[in-house]
Every structure is written in C-alpha cells, then in structure tokens.
Structure 1
Amino acid sequence: MVSEFPTLEELGTGGKRLLSRVLTRLETHARDAETAEFLDRVCTAKGGCVLGLTGPPGVGKSSLTDALIKTCRAEEKRVAVLAVDPSSSVTGGALLGDRTRLKTDPTDEAVFVRSMAARNRLGGLSDHSVAAIAVLRAVYDQVIVETVGIGQSEGDLRQVADTVVLCIQPGSGDSLQFMKAGIMELPDVVAVTKADMGALARRAASDVSGALSLGAVSRSSWNVPVVEVSSQTGSGVADLVASADAHFDTLVEKGLDETRQKQHVSWFKDMVRTEFGLAGLDMAERKGGEDWLLLARRRPFSSFHSFASLIRQRLF
C-alpha cells in the first residue's frame, strides 16, 4: 500500500503546495496508524527553532510576526508561521484569520503561513496544531507560533516552543500586576511592544524587569532578556531575534535532543488527558506493562495510537 504521506526529503523539497496538502490531511483525518507513523518520522528530524509568541489580544503579535518574518528572510532563514485562532462555533474553523495581517510575498517559497483553529482548546493548542508544528519544524529554519493569547495558551505553548516570547504592551501594569498574573515563570524572552510610545514603553520594560527579578523560579544560567520593539519603525526587532537565537543556542549546547524528547512526552500526556481524562493519564503513567512515557520520548504519536487502541478495547 502506497503511503499518502511524503518522505522527509519530499516534504523538504515539495514546496508550499505539498506542505499545505499534508497539513490539511492532518486537520481532516482521524488519528490513524499511518498518520501516527508519519508524524513520528517527522519528529526524528532535528529541524529548526520553534519560537512561540504569546500575549493578550491587541498587544501587536501579528504586527510583530510580520516584522520577524522580514528579519528572518533578510538573514536568509526559511520561516513558517502558524497562527492559532479562536474557533468558529458553527464550522470549527479559524475565526480571526491572523494571516491576513501578514504582508508576505506569496511567490517566496521560503515563507509559509497557515492559520489553524484552536478547536475545543480555549486559548490553547489543539492536537492538530501540535502535529502541524512538528511538520513545520522539520522543514523550516524558523517556525513562529502565534497563539490566541488567552486561557491556557501560555502553558500549552511551553510544550511545543523551544523559545517562548511573552509580548507586553505599554501601560499593561506594574511589577506587582505582572507577578499576580503568574506568567513571569513562562517566557524565555520578553518583548515590550509599541516601543515607539517612548517613556511608556521604557516604564513597561522596567516593570517587567522588576517582576522577573522578584520571581522565585530559577532559570539556571539563562537570564530572561527584556527587549523593547516597535513593529512600525523596526527598532529592536533584530535584538529580539538575536535574543531568541541565543536562547536556542543554549538549548543546543545542553542537548536539544533531550529537550525535544521531553516535549514529546508532554504531547503524549496531553493527548491522553484530552481523550481519556485524568483516569487515562493515570493508567499511562502507572508502572507495569508497557512503559508508555518511555516509548513516547521517541514515538509520541504511535505510542498514543497504541495506548488509545488498548484503552478502547478494554472499554468497548
């Protein structure tokens, strides 16, 4: 039987049309064994850096994404964008269409933009989004994931992104407010957007730096940089890219493979929790029989497919 999925080499050379067909199939088909095998093959590729952008609506994530694309292309990086939108309650599709705000050249094969619905995950990343990120990561040097920016999106983003960028706009609160939000433990880089607002932006950067210094979370050797950026003037965008690259370099030095394997386990556990709840997750983590979490380090999607098949046999 001929596989409906391309090889990794074909995926890398097949262009945007082939990639679009693959992502559409991931969105519209159930988690069958062939799809799981393909995704596990994709996971073996080292691939590029996944940069996650999160922050409240209106902070300027889409405008910043547009500026990041231009900077990455100036550095001759192949860049993909996955804009995760709220879902329509009628069709289930992406509601905002953030990619319409991106001024990209449709003839540039080194830039790929896709919108994807959050489905039933309020502000989070659906299984389809995670699978899409794994595919894009295997093909492009830089993958930018722009989240809805509400709900559990920040926590979900940590599971898929190598570097999480928290976007904060001027006038969004003082140090205490940032600490109360409980979000300062998540970012690897903080971007204060709309830096062209001058003193307000500098105050916001100072407040964020204060909140980071008050945080109790240890980040070992990495100190979270705070970068003031303006998508309108372009100031600070190169510094933001440099900070993100520096963080990714630290992951490579420490062992990127180990980081990716931990991500795979998180994907497996999240799929189990979504499908079978906490009881299912308890079964997957229980010692004895198959060590599902160990298998998931290398083969997260096939491991879930096997586990789900076993559970369904027992239930039905």
Structure 2
Amino acid sequence: MSAPQAEAGGAAALAALRAGGKAALARALARIEARPDAPDVTALLDAAHAAPAGHVIGLTGPPGVGKSTLVNALIGLWRARGLSVGVIAVDPSSRRSGGALLGDRTRIDSDPEDAGVFVRSMAARDRLGGLAELSYPAMTLMRAVFDRVLVETVGVGQSETEVADLADTVVLCVQPGSGDALQFMKSGVMEIPHFVLVTKADLGAPARRALADLKGALSLAPPRPDGWTPVALSCSALEGGGLDEAVDRIEARAAWLAADGGAALARLRAAHAMAWARSALRARFGTEGLAAAERLGLARAQDVGPFAAAASISGALRAALDSAGGGRKVDEP
C-alpha cells in the first residue's frame, strides 16, 4: 500500500468510525489490540493522530485517592456542558488471565445509552508506569472522536509518570491526611502535573492542611520550560464542592495550549508521539534495537505518521533478526 493510498484509507476509516458510534469504536479498539501493526490499523491511527478533536486529561495518584469517583463526577460535568467524553481506565492485571482485574463497569458509572460517553478498561500487565501498552494508540483514536478524553492510571504510586507522555493536561490526585503530599515532593512526581488536586475536601481540616502544603511546595518549584505554572486545588467528588472550578481550570489550560494557533499543543503532542514510538520499539527490541531504529530514521516519524513509521521500522528490525537467525531482542545475549 502506497503512502497516499494509506492516507486515503485511514481518512475514510476514521470518517466511518466517527459515524459508526460506540460499537464501531469498540471494534476498532479490539482490532488495535489484536493487530497493532496491521496496515489498516496504522493507517487509521495515523489519520486519527493527524485529526485530533479533543483534549486529553490524565488522572494519576495512589490507590484509594478517589480517581474513579472523580472520573464519574467529571463525566457528568462535561456532559452537562454538551461535551462528549471518552475514558480509558487502566486496571491492575489478573495474574491468571492477564486481563483487567477490576473492569471499567464496576468503578465508573456511565449510561450505556449515552452516545456521548465511552469507557474502556485496559490491563496494565507488567508495566510500571501506570499505563497499559496500548493506552497511547487507544487515546489517539478516542481523541479524534471525543471532546474530552480522560485517562485514569492504575494507581501504583510514585512510579506513575508515563501519563506525562500521553496527556495534554496531567492532574495528580492527593488524599488528605495520608502523607502523599510529602512523599510526592520527595520522589519528584510533583514535576509532572499541571494541577494537583486534593480530593475528599469534605474531610475539612486535613484537606485544608494538605492544600496549604501543596501550594507551598509548588511555590518553590522551578519554572516549567513551557511557561505553565502548576496549580493546587481541592474538591469533593462526593459533595460536588470545587469540581466546577477544577473543570474551569482544565478548560483554561486547554485554551492556553490552543493559543497562537496551537503551536504549543502541536509541539507537546509531537513529543508524546515520539516518546510512544521509542517506548514501543524499546519494549520490542531492547535498547540496541532502539538505537538501530534511530539509525533507520525514527526521527522522521512525524513526516509519515508515528504509527506507520514504528510498524515499518519494527518490520525492518524483525527481518534483520530473522536473517541473522535471531528472534530475540537485539540487546539480549
């Protein structure tokens, strides 16, 4: 398939997906999971990458902080504003099946008849960064369909940093009275979020103390390279307090990124695409394989589409391994 044919086929598939509703999206995501490097899949993903329609918000934080409850509340607020919402909920994995252990339907309450809400759960499996292997491709597809895409990480604690390479806006959730604020400051996680959100503000004094601590910590943080100043907020998903302000702040960041023709947003998403391609190739072929991929022209991925480029380079590396009698990672003995 030539590049123009792939581009035309991907655009047509994306148009059909947008017209096909939730069932079409579910089928497309299943196809991505089954054949991520298939030409029709990479063409669709590159078309989606080139035509983003929504803003992506990553919710991260430790288990029990209330991320799923917050997701439910945010869905309701955005739907009330007339915006469609897609959700990727990354779950712990079953040791037996490898599938998502909790499942989206048990934690996120959505109306199956609402065409403007779609929830997909994914198993983290062996990944430690808080996301699943196919989180980025799934997000890319959903970003082309929905106004807002929420990505809820698995909740493993201080190692959840991959979401910064996927989301336009990162929200770190902190539970009052848990000591999380101090631990995150010590671990460097505070360098990642654009917003730090103290959940369960209905607890009163502990929530106010946590918010004050976080504001103090953020005031001492060095300036961000992009000029964004992180903000500490509090809310109660149970009682609703502070949620409208949180949504307004997220919307303000989306507008900030879209200013001046969206140049800052384009740079951010290009960096995300390259980070995904490098991570995927490293996972498949090791560090030496990634170095070989760089020599094969990975840096030009933005010119042809990151998904087609990664698939093409993967094919070249596999062929090289096969011809050498390999079949193992390039840097394995």
Provide TM-score, normalisation by structure 1: 0.92
CA deviations 1:185-226 (Å, max 9, x no partner) are 000011100000111101000111122122235355322111
Can you give the 5+ residue segments of structure 1 that lack an aligned partner in the other structure? none
| Residue 198 (structure 1) aligns with | 204
Runs (4+) of structure 1 exceeding 4 A deviation are 3-6
| Residue 132 (structure 2) aligns with | 126
Matched, 1:45 2:51: yes
Q: Distance in 2 between matches of 1:87 and 1:31?
A: 23
* SS, match of residue 311 in structure 2: helix
Q: Out of 134, 143, 156, which is 1:137 matched to?
A: 143
Could you tell me whether the CA contact under 8 Å between 1:86 and 1:122 is conserved in 2? no
**Alignment RMSD, CA only?**
2.2
Q: Out of 283, 294, 303, which is 2:309 matched to?
A: 303
* SS, match of residue 17 in structure 2: helix
| Deviation (angstroms), 1:79 | 0.5
Change (3 A) 1:297 1:153: farther
* SS, match of residue 316 in structure 2: helix
Of 235-244 and 97-106, more deviation after overlay is shown by 97-106
Q: Out of 245, 267, 275, which is 1:266 matched to?
A: 275
- Aligned residue identity for 1:215: A
| Deviation (angstroms), 1:40 | 0.9
Any residues of structure 2 matched to 1:141-152 within 5 Å, and which?
Answer: 141-150=147-156
- Aligned residue identity for 1:283: A
| Residue 244 (structure 1) aligns with | 250
CA deviations 1:29-66 (Å, max 9, x no partner) are 35222221221111111220000000000000000000
Can you give the 5+ residue segments of structure 2 that lack an aligned partner in the other structure? 2-8, 323-333
Matched, 1:209 2:215: yes
| Deviation (angstroms), 1:298 | 5.1
Matched, 1:235 2:241: yes
Q: Distance in 2 between matches of 1:214 and 1:172?
A: 22
Matched, 1:75 2:81: yes
| Residue 223 (structure 1) aligns with | 229
Give the number of equivalent residue pairs.
313
Q: Distance in 2 between matches of 1:4 and 1:264?
A: 18
| Residue 160 (structure 2) aligns with | 154
Matched, 1:283 2:289: no
* SS, match of residue 114 in structure 1: strand
* SS, match of residue 7 in structure 1: helix
Q: Out of 10, 18, 27, which is 2:33 matched to?
A: 27
| Deviation (angstroms), 1:113 | 0.9
| Deviation (angstroms), 1:250 | 1.7
* SS, match of residue 148 in structure 1: coil
Of 3-12 and 168-177, more deviation after overlay is shown by 3-12
Q: Distance in 2 between matches of 1:98 and 1:206?
A: 33
* SS, match of residue 90 in structure 2: strand
Q: Out of 165, 173, 181, which is 1:167 matched to?
A: 173
Q: Distance in 1 between matches of 2:305 and 2:284?
A: 18
* SS, match of residue 151 in structure 2: strand
Change (3 A) 1:87 1:176: closer
* SS, match of residue 167 in structure 1: strand
- Aligned residue identity for 1:271: A
* SS, match of residue 56 in structure 2: strand
| Deviation (angstroms), 1:294 | 2.1
Of 273-282 and 195-204, more deviation after overlay is shown by 273-282
Of 47-56 and 248-257, more deviation after overlay is shown by 248-257
Q: Distance in 2 between matches of 1:174 and 1:311?
A: 43
Q: Distance in 2 between matches of 1:114 and 1:153?
A: 23
| Deviation (angstroms), 1:243 | 1.1
Q: Distance in 1 between matches of 2:180 and 2:66?
A: 19
Could you tell me whether the CA contact under 8 Å between 1:52 and 1:165 is conserved in 2? yes
Change (3 A) 1:7 1:105: same
Could you tell me whether the CA contact under 8 Å between 1:72 and 1:79 is conserved in 2? yes
| Percent sequence identity over aligned pairs | 47
CA deviations 1:45-98 (Å, max 9, x no partner) are 122000000000000000000000000011000001110111112111100124
Provide TM-score, normalisation by structure 2: 0.88
Q: Distance in 2 between matches of 1:276 and 1:299?
A: 20
Q: Out of 292, 298, 319, which is 1:292 matched to?
A: 298
* SS, match of residue 121 in structure 2: strand
